[in-house]
Structure 1
Amino acid sequence: MKGYPESNYPLFRRVAAELRAQGHQVYNPAEFDYCRTTHPTFPLRVAFAEYSAFICSKADAIVLLPGWHKSLGVSAELALAKNCQLDIYEYVEPSLRQITA
C-alpha cells in the first residue's frame, strides 16, 4: 500500500500469520516473488490477474486492512469480492469485524 512504510507488508504478514494460525488458507500478495525488493519493477497487471483469479475461484472472504479505503487496488478487489458474493471483513486490531455476509 502506497504511503506506508515497507508498503504495509509487515501488517500484511502479521495478519496472514494470525489467520493461518486459525486454520484459514490465505492469499497474501506481499508474499509473492513480484513483491520482493529484488524484483526491478512491480508487474501490476500480473498481480491483479493472479489475485482476481484467486478471488473468483477459491476465496470465500476477503480481509481489508486499516487504510484500505485509500487504496485504488483494494477498491477494485472489493468490487470483485462483492460481485462474487464473498464475505468481507475489516481487520480492526486485534480482531476481524464482518462488513458483509
Structure 2
Amino acid sequence: MSYYTEIIVTPKDLVNRTILQANITVQRSNDVLLSATVYSAQSKPLEGAVVQVIKICGRNRINIGYVITNQDGEFAISVKKSNLIKYELDIYGPLIEAE
C-alpha cells in the first residue's frame, strides 16, 4: 500500500477529555488489504500456516508470494484490485507445530 497517514496522540491531547476527535485523510489507492484467519479442523486458530497467494489474469498464473499466519491464525497481504485479476489462496498446514 503506497499511501500512509500517521497520527500521534500525546498525553497532552487527552487532558480533560473522554473523547478525542481527529480528521485523517488518506489518498485513494488501487491497493486492497486481504486479511483472514485460518482455523484447524478443530476450529482453533492455526499459527504458522503457510498461505500462497497466486494472481490469475486470463490464463496467466503468477505466484505473488507466501505469508505465514500469526499466533491468532491471522494473515494479511496487500494486492492490486482490478476487474481483470483474480486471486487464489492456497493454504498449507504449519511447517513447525506450535508448542
Structures share fold, TM-score greater than 0.5? no
The structure richer in helix per residue is 1
Which band: TM-score by shorter chain?
Answer: under 0.3
Structure with the bigger RCO (C-alpha within 8 Å, sep 6+) is 2
